[in-house]
Amino acid sequence: MADVETPTEVRATAKYVRTAPRKAQLVAAEIRGRRAVEARQILAFMTRDAARDVDKVLASAIANAEANHGLSGDELYVSAAEIGSGPTLKRWRARARGRVGRIKKRTCHITIRLAPVEEAAPAPRAPAVEEKPRAQSRARRPKAEATVTTPEAPPPAADEPAPEEKPKRAPRKKPAGPAAGPGAEAETTPKPARPRTKPAAEAAPAAEKPKRAPRKKAESKPEEES
């Protein structure tokens, strides 16, 4: 039996797939760098329509590795998942007022590359940074509360006389009753009512028109005896 050379990569390609490139790229991003078995499980539970097309290409790549190169599908991982744009089919649809609405049916090319897990380069690790021991922080001393002192007034000198207090003025009382004075009578007595004068048009009565003498009724003549 002839020995079969194991290539570094196995690929499968599907062209002119009736799926928009943007939709297929979102699916391909989920399986990059994962094992082939794990990638098929992810695609089986995805709800996007493009996942069915990507799954067919992945299954074809696994079959190529097992049949043509003698590799095991469990020992492969997705090294690359490329999505390229294909030709766009242009259609149209009749719209109002004699206009046309464009319809673009996009296509894409899907390419998946598989490689053995042994050849997978391990991810570079960041160099570990040694942490320096922190110096013990000194205990913070409680800050003294600032006290505000108000300057006291100097005591009065013995030679200076104490200021005299002025006597308070008693409030004035209002006079009560008529006997309070002559000014009180003027306040208590009511002012006489001012007669209202009618306007000249109402004061002067209109001149009366002479009455017309009543008409006398015509006397009826006695009927002649026949």
Domains of the chain: which residue ranges?
Answer: 10-118
pLDDT tens digits for 184-225?
A: 555 556 667 776 766 555 555 566 777 787 877 766 666 655
DSSP 152-195: PPPPPPSSSPPPPPPPPPPPPPPP-SGGG-HHHHHHHSPPPPPP
CA distances (Å), 86 to each of 40, 102, 209, in order? 25, 18, 118
pLDDT of residue 11: 92
Contact 43, 27 (CB under 8 A): yes
pLDDT of residue 52: 95
Question: What is the DSSP secondary structure assignment for residue 35, as one 8-state letter?
Answer: B
Contact 41, 16 (CB under 8 A): no
Instruction: Enumerate residues 6+ apart whose C-beta is below 8 A from 113.
Output: 9, 10, 11, 61, 78, 79, 80, 81, 82
**Stated pTM of the model:** 0.50
108 forms beta bridges with 17, 85
Instruction: Enumerate residues 6+ apart whose C-beta is below 8 A from 66.
Output: 72, 73
pLDDT of residue 140: 63
Q: How far apart are CA 201 and CA 219, in angstroms?
A: 47
pLDDT of residue 169: 79
pLDDT of residue 69: 87
Q: What's the fold here for domain 10-118? A: Ribosomal Protein L22; Chain A (3.90.470)
Element spanning 68, H or E:
helix 50-68
pLDDT tens digits for 157-188?
A: 556 666 677 777 777 777 665 555 555 555 55
Element spanning 40, H or E:
helix 36-44
User: Confidence band (pLDDT; 50, 70, 90) for 79?
Assistant: very high
pLDDT of 131 over the 80 cut: no
Closest of 117, 32, 110, 124 to residue 78, by C-alpha: 32
